Structure 1
Amino acid sequence: MENFINAVINFSNWLWGIPMLVILVGGSIFLTIKLGFFQFKYFPFIMKETFGKMFKKSEGEGTVTPFQAATAALASTIGAANIVGVPVAIAYGGPGAVFWMWIVALIASAAKFSEITLGIKYRELNEEGEHVGGPMYFLSKGIKSSLGKVLGIIFSFFLMLEIIPSIATQSASAAQTAATINIPSWITGCALVILVGLVVFGGIKKIANFTEKLVPFMALLYIIGGLIIIIVNITELPKALGLIFKHAFTPFAAVGGIAGAGVAQAIRWGTARGVYSNEAGMGTAPIAHSAAITDHPARQAMWGIFEIVVDTLIVCTITALVVLVSGVYKTVPIDQAASMPAVAFQQLLGNTLGGGIATISMLLFVLSTIIVIAYYGKTQAEFLFGAKFSNVMVIIYLLSIILGVYGGIEFLYNFLDILLATIIIPNMIGLLILSDEVKDLKDEFFKNPKYYNPSK
């Protein structure tokens, strides 16, 4: 078993080196150039259309509101990776991994915009009258050859499988954090199974209503708690930022809970954790966004950039700074890296309040993520094998919660990264092939005063 685990880790490290950098980052750079660096050029307008219009009624066809679709997608992106994925990346890739997380987020915005745009364009109505879409639809319908159908099936099949270790890593992270305030793993696992099971069978409307209320609350709770720690340790902030920028380009020597890491490891862990956190290029976001009420695909796609800002540039950054300014990276063992934020909260606010904030935030993040990704997996199973089999997969997903609370976190993350690559590759191939369609839709939106009017 040890040889198998080592083989998985070694292959994962190789795969998330040059190969995935070329596919994901290279593909996102191509899309950024193709779309005229729109995520930078129109950034103020995009923020005004998202942050500024969260609760505005939308026009057009769809099943749920744009904000509900965004919070459903955010429920998947704001998860354990924001609290424990970041310290794991720092532990194995050094502080410089945070810098590469930022870079991937900014560049990969083009990929997320593209996949949501195509998701809206090629969405369909299912038997229940709900709008459904995602890569499995735009790959098979948009690419006019057998390649499109093959890519759609590959994406759908491997996403269905990828959800299993993804859920396991979420529950493993929750169990580690809950253990810091002496909650047994079996209790954490059973509670998650019951809560997820109650919501996930309800479909996208029930999930959207649930996440619309939960996501803003859980994000604000964690952000406020993290900012308190950063402010109290404000004198350490310049040093923390210095570590991030310096060790993005220079090796980091082993210290406390951080392994010695070279630049390649910083890039590898920063890229992988950044992608898993904000899901840009993964193809999962358009599954949620395809249900949104909107008058144009590009308008809804801007919510994808909103997600990246909230998820990576705000929440993940706060976690990284909490870990670095508090100094817990010097004391917490590397095999317990996931608990670093919880330890930082406890050091400042005490075991009860600090541990409670960290644990509640983690459990809410994990709960919302598992609910949404289980729905993603269910839709893939339905797309491939029909509605009855999709319910079987939901049961398997619920069982993977229990599996996760007893799994080794490094092995789970490395195995997850391998499956993550199997869905990113067909999705990115499709985005590149269909990039002309995305460009046409982007131009149609931003060159038409009906849609793009910065003065309003």
Structure 2
Amino acid sequence: MNFHALLADINAIVWGPVTLCLLVGTGLYLTLRLKLIQVFKLPMALGLLFKPANGKGDLSSFAALCTALSATIGTGNIVGVATAIKIGGPGALFWMWLAAFFGMATKYAECMLAVKYRTTDARGQIAGGPMYYIERGLGLSWLAKLFAIFGVGVAFFGIGTFAQVNAISDALTIAFHVPAWATSLVLTILVAAVTLGGVKRIANVAQKLVPTMALGYVLACLWVLITFSEQILPAFELVIHSAFTPISAAGGFLGATVAQALQIGIARGVFSNESGLGSAPIAAAAAKTNEPVEQGLVSMTGTFFDTIIICTMTGLVLIITGVWSGDTAGAAMTSAAFASGGSVLVGQYFVTVALVCFAFTTILGWHYYGERCWYYLMGERGLRAYQGVFLGLIALGSFIHLDMIWLLADTVNGLMAIPNLIAIIGLRHIIYLETLSYFTRFDKKDLEGTPSDVLPS
């Protein structure tokens, strides 16, 4: 058995029924327990994005969200969606929606816990995330260390390096004929220049790049959707129909079962929005706030922006233009879709620029996540070694085969999610009581609804 086949078998186990049930089941439980908080308190959460920073922390709530979004809005929104639909058919988009809807409740819970159980490290910086609420909330230091180990693994081999670098390299080669070695060299230098400046420099870059690139991408998607407006309703019908019905082979599409659509849709959804993965809480913990619930609400908007808006836009563009059943795949497939709505030149170059920006900020965010996990395990020891290995892996990312990259990324993502989901389940009563306490402390004039609108008294 070769390494690729072995990795595929491991991935099938990691993303088997247990993990899928943990991800969706945890989100479903929290959705019901918190009375659809992701629906009824979404307007409030969006309003909190612009609330002035008030409390201890290293970053404003908005900066913390942008740092988290810098790690989530990446290749998953362009390449990941294209890969999911190519393998699982249009129905995969439905399962991405489902994972995102329940994932918003999970993202709320994990980021709220991150602020509640955060602490200050030896350097005077805020330290928080799953490893801290697992240790301080559950008292399971071994599980916290296991999460941190998997977190470093994802930073090194999952979302943090290979998937992003390979996507950037392929896109630049296709659009501008830039050789892979040149992309690796320049990217390594740029990442080093930003990440060695710490979380505040990363946040400053994220605050400028993330909103700009996300808005530009959404506007470009809207242009294509308007051009093919008569296809939008049939596209939604195809997505829903395909989610529950096997899709036959057509063109370059090989056909897909419902199980394939479900598995790839949830896996790519988690890759894209990272709900339940435990990454966003590391950034959320640094927010300047004294209210864990408020940061949880702010953080759950990240899943809304990432999947409900951006991934949906990408998926609809791929479906209404018909490229999903063609011979292209990955970034080339998305480029072909945008070219259908304008010119080949615009489609190719725009997707390249968007992909480069998305992937670059993801690398920055995951460098920070991995560093915090490393610090939890090792303290100051070996931080330079961590940074060196991370930059070295970026330099190598352009030369690894795409199929291997996605298999590796999905596998380590699933391993990282499991300890975090166990912790959320173990701390479910704390999540409920903390949320109840927050909404009880504020009267009607300060909130959109009374406490009973969200939770039972």
TM value normalised by structure 2: 0.93
Of 149, 154, 158, 1:162 maps to: 154
Q: Could you tell me which residue of structure 1 aligns to residue 21 of structure 2?
A: 22
1:428 pairs, out of 421, 430, 438, with 421
Separation (CA, whole Å) in 1 of partners of 2:245 and 2:209:
40
> In 2, are the aligned partners of 1:78 and 1:365 still within 8 Å (CA)?
yes
Tell me, in whole angstroms, the C-alpha distance in 2 between the residues paired with 1:161 and 1:89.
23
State the aligned residue count: 446
Please report how far the alpha carbon of residue 385 of structure 1 lies from its aligned counterpart in structure 2 after TM superposition: 1.4
Query: 359, 383, 387: which one pairs with 2:352?
Result: 359
Answer whether contact 1:97 1:270 (CA < 8 A) is retained: yes
**Cα distance change of structure 1 residues 74 and 257 upon mapping to structure 2, 3 Å threshold:** farther
Comparing 416-425 with 14-23, greater Cα deviation is found at: 14-23
Structure 2 residue aligned with 1:233: 228
Residue pair 2:97, 2:308 contacting (<8 A) in 1 also: yes
Are 2:371 and 1:381 equivalent residues in the alignment?
Answer: no
In the superposition, relative to structure 1, how do residues 414 and 196 fare at CA in structure 2: closer, same or farther (>3 Å)?
A: same
Instruction: Give the aligned partner of residue 370 of structure 1.
Output: 363
Structure 2 distance, partners of 1:257, 1:108, is: 32
Alignment-derived partner of residue 307 in structure 1: 302
Secondary structure of 2:2's counterpart equals helix
Residue 349 of structure 1 aligns to a residue in which SS?
coil
Instruction: Give the structure-1-normalised TM-score.
Output: 0.94
Taking the aligned partners of 1:63 and 1:249, their CA distance within structure 2 comes to 46
| Alpha-carbon separation, structure 1, partners of 2:436 and 2:163 | 40
Which residue is equivalent to 2:31?
A: 32
Shift of residue 37, structure 1, vs aligned partner:
2.6
Post-superposition Cα deviations, 1:333-380, rounded to whole Å, max 9, x if no partner, equal 4xx333211222234433433222111110000110001101111111
- Is contact 1:378-1:391 (8 Å) kept? no
Going from structure 1 to structure 2, the CA distance change for 1:184 and 1:243 (only over 3 Å counts) comes to: farther
Whole-angstrom CA distance in 1 between matches of 2:277 and 2:130: 9
Q: Indicate conservation of the 8 Å contact 2:113/2:292, yes or no.
A: yes
Q: Deviations over 1:282-319 (max 9, x none)?
A: 11101101111113000011112210111001110111
Q: Which amino acid in the other structure matches residue 266 of structure 2?
A: T
Contact 1:159–1:380, Cα closer than 8 Å, also in 2: yes
Shift of 1:386: 2.5
Q: Deviations over 1:378-427 (max 9, x none)?
A: 11112111224122122212222232212222221112111112111111
Worse-superposed segment, 191-200 or 80-89: 191-200
| Distance in 1 between residues matched to 2:393 and 2:327, nearest whole Å | 27
Q: Is the 8 A contact 1:86 1:273 kept in 2?
A: yes
What amino acid does structure 1 have at the position aligned with 2:372? T
Deviation per CA, 1:171-219: give whole Å up to 9, x if none. Answer: 1122222232123222222222111110111111111111111101111
1:252 counterpart SS class: coil
SS of alignment partner, residue 36 of structure 1:
coil
Asked whether the equivalents of residues 5 and 411 of structure 1 are also in contact (C-alpha less than 8 Å), the reply is yes
What's the counterpart of residue 435 of structure 2?
A: 442
Q: RMSD between aligned alpha carbons?
A: 1.8
Q: Is the 8 A contact 2:81 2:314 kept in 1?
A: yes
User: What is the match of residue 175 of structure 1?
Assistant: 169
Determine helix, strand or coil for the equivalent of 1:405.
helix
Distance in 1 separating the partners of 2:226 and 2:174: 23
- Residues 229/397 of structure 1: CA separation in 2 closer, same or farther (3 Å cut): same
CA deviations 1:191-250 (Å, max 9, x no partner) are 221111101111111111111111011111111111111211222222221221111000
Mapped to 2, the partners of 1:386 and 1:122 lie a distance apart of 18
| Distance change in 2, residues 1:404/1:257 (3 Å) | farther
Aligned partner of 1:47: which letter? L
Is 1:418 equivalent to 2:411 in the alignment? yes
Could you tell me which residue of structure 1 aligns to residue 342 of structure 2? 349
- For 2:269, the equivalent position in structure 1 comes to 274
